Amino acid sequence: MPIRLHNTLSKEKELFEPLDPERVTMYVCGPTVYSYAHIGNARPAVVFDTLFRVLKNRYSNVVYARNITDVDDKINKAAREQNVDISVITQKFAGIYRDDMAALNVQRPSIEPHATAHMPQMIAMIEKLIANGNAYAAEGHVLFHVPSFKDYGALSKRDMREMIAGARVEVAPYKKDPADFVLWKPSDDETPGWDSPWGRGRPGWHIECSAMIETHLGESIDIHGGGHDLQFPHHENELAQGTCAHDGKLYVKYWMHNGFLNVEGDKMSKSIGNVLLVHDLIEQTPGEAIRLALITGHYRAPLDWTANGLVEAKKKLDRLYGALEALTDIEPAANIGAPDAFVDALEDDLNTPKAIAELFGLAKAANTSTSAEEKAQIKAQLLAAGDLIGLLQHTPAEWFDTAKAASDIDGEKVDSLIEARKQARANKDFAEADRIRDELDAMGVELLDSREGTTWKAK
C-alpha cells in the first residue's frame, strides 16, 4: 500500500507523493537548547523518528533535518543568569538532548543544523523579502508585512483577529500592521548580536527554520513537522515568508503535527511542578518503555502521560522480549522483513496502535508455534518490525537485566502504598501516613506531593 499522511494544510489524509522520489526531504523543528527536554519535547522527536524509519524503508534517499535552536531570548536569559557565553549553555544542552533522545532509540537525523551557523543565509532571505515588497525595515527591526501574503492563516485556519488576540501579538509603533512579525531585531551591547544591513542584531525565531530549510533541503520540501503548538504562529509565519522569499513557489507539500502531551491530566508547568524531564525518566525506566508509551496512541491524538501508562508499556515490552527469549536458539529466517499488515499500518498515517497490535499478534504466534521453520520466520518478522518502529533493539538478556536493575522498585506496591497514605491522611491518621512515607523512603522512593496529587521517583 502507498504511504498516506495527514496534511494539516488540507486537513485530510493524502497519498504521499514526494516531489523527488530520489531525494525525499523532511524538516522537523528541533529543541531550543537552554534546559533539559521534557517528555512533551520527546514526542515529536520519537514520532518523526518513526516516520523517518518508515520513509527509509520505502525510499533509498531520505534527508531528514532537525534543527538546534541555539539563539533565542530564553537562552540569552539563562546565559546572563549564569554569567557565561550562550554557547556554553547551548553546547551543554544540545549534547544532553542528543543523549536523552538516543536513549529513546531516536536515530540521529541526516542533518542537525544550528541556527547560529546560518546568519548569512537568514540575512539574504530577509533582503529578498524586502526586495519583493513583503518586508520592511523600521527602527533597527525588520518585519514581515502580513497583509502582503494573501494566503496568511491557511495553515492554522484561524480568523486573523482571533490569531492576533490568541498570540498576544505585540503592538509596536514601528509595525505597519499589528500582525506583522519580526524577522530581525536589534541587540543591545549585553545581548548576542550579528552585524547586518539593519545594524547589530539577531534573527526572529521563524526565519531561522526557513533559512535552514532552504540551505539544506531546498526551496520546496516534502514534509515539515513539529508539535501541534507550532502551527501558529511559527509554521504560519514560516509558510508566509518561505513562499514569498521563493516568489510563490511551493514551500512544504505535507505539514504534519503531533498532538499535545499532558501529564496525569494536566498541562505540564513549572508552577504545578509536574514537568517530567526525559533525563530523569531514563534513570528510572528503560528508554524503550518510554518510547512505547509515547507511540501507544496515535500521534495526532492528545496524549495523557501517566505513571501507570509507563508501567504498562514496560510490561508490554516484557511480553515481546519474553517471546524473543523463547526463540533464543532459533536462527531468524533470511530475507524476511516486517509483515505487510505491520508495514501497512505504519504507512497509513503512522498508525502505531495498529502496528503495535500486529507486533503482539506475532509474539502470540511465536508462543504457540510448534514448527521450527515457522518460528524462524516469526523471529525474523519480529526483529524487522522492531527495527521499523524503533523497539526491540536489545537482546532479551540485555532487556531483562536492565529492566531488573531499573525496577528494583515494585511500581505496583509503591502505587498501593501511596493510595494507603492518601487514605490515612484523609482519615487524619498522620502517624500512619508518616510511617508509610518512611516505608517508601526505605524502598528508595521519593514522593513528590503537589496540589494535583502525589507522584514518585526513584532516589
Q: Which residues bind ligand AMP (CB under 6 A)?
A: 29, 31-32, 40-41, 43-44, 226-227, 229-230, 258, 260-261, 268
Dist. CA 459–CA 457, nearest whole Å: 6
CB of 226 to Zn ion, least distance (A): 6
CB of 35 to ligand AMP, least distance (A): 9
Dist. CA 75–CA 82, nearest whole Å: 11
CA dist 405 → 183, 277, 398 (Å): 50, 20, 11
Amino acid identity at 58: R
The residue (of 143 and 209) whose beta carbon lies closer to Zn ion is: 209
Which option in ligand AMP, Zn ion, none does residue 209 bind, with CB closer than 5 to 8 A by kind? Zn ion
Which option in ligand AMP, Zn ion, none does residue 396 bind, with CB closer than 5 to 8 A by kind? none
SS3 at position 74: helix
The residue (of 31 and 109) whose beta carbon lies closer to ligand AMP is: 31
Which option in ligand AMP, Zn ion, none does residue 227 bind, with CB closer than 5 to 8 A by kind? ligand AMP
Which option in ligand AMP, Zn ion, none does residue 179 bind, with CB closer than 5 to 8 A by kind? none
**Helical segments of 407-429, H only:** 411-426
CB of 47 to ligand AMP, least distance (A): 9
The residue (of 72 and 358) whose beta carbon lies closer to ligand AMP is: 72
Which option in ligand AMP, Zn ion, none does residue 377 bind, with CB closer than 5 to 8 A by kind? none
SS3 at position 415: helix
DSSP string, 159-207: -HHHHHHHTT----TT-SSTT-EEEEEE--TTS--B--TT-SEEE-HHH
Which option in Zn ion, ligand AMP, none does residue 43 bind, with CB closer than 5 to 8 A by kind? ligand AMP
Dist. CA 409–CA 443, nearest whole Å: 7
Dist. CA 436–CA 426, nearest whole Å: 14
CB of 183 to ligand AMP, least distance (A): 18
CB of 234 to Zn ion, least distance (A): 5
Torsion angles phi and psi, residue 253, rounded to 5: -85, -45
The residue (of 134 and 210) whose beta carbon lies closer to ligand AMP is: 210
Sequence-distant (6+) residues with CB within 8 A of 84 are: none
Residues written for the chain:
459
Which grid cell is 285? 525506566
- Which residues pair with residue 138 across a beta bridge? 141
Q: Where are the beta strands (DSSP E) in 289-442?
A: 303-305
The residue (of 32 and 381) whose beta carbon lies closer to ligand AMP is: 32
CB of 125 to Zn ion, least distance (A): 14
Which residue number has the CB closest to ligand AMP? Answer: 227
The residues that touch Zn ion, with contacts defined as CB under 5 A, are 29, 209
Residue whose grid cell is 533464543:
328
The residue (of 65 and 362) whose beta carbon lies closer to ligand AMP is: 65
SS3 at position 380: helix
The residue (of 32 and 196) whose beta carbon lies closer to ligand AMP is: 32
CB of 228 to Zn ion, least distance (A): 13
CB of 261 to ligand AMP, least distance (A): 4
The residue (of 135 and 209) whose beta carbon lies closer to Zn ion is: 209
Which option in Zn ion, ligand AMP, none does residue 40 bind, with CB closer than 5 to 8 A by kind? ligand AMP
Cβ count within 10 A of residue 45: 24
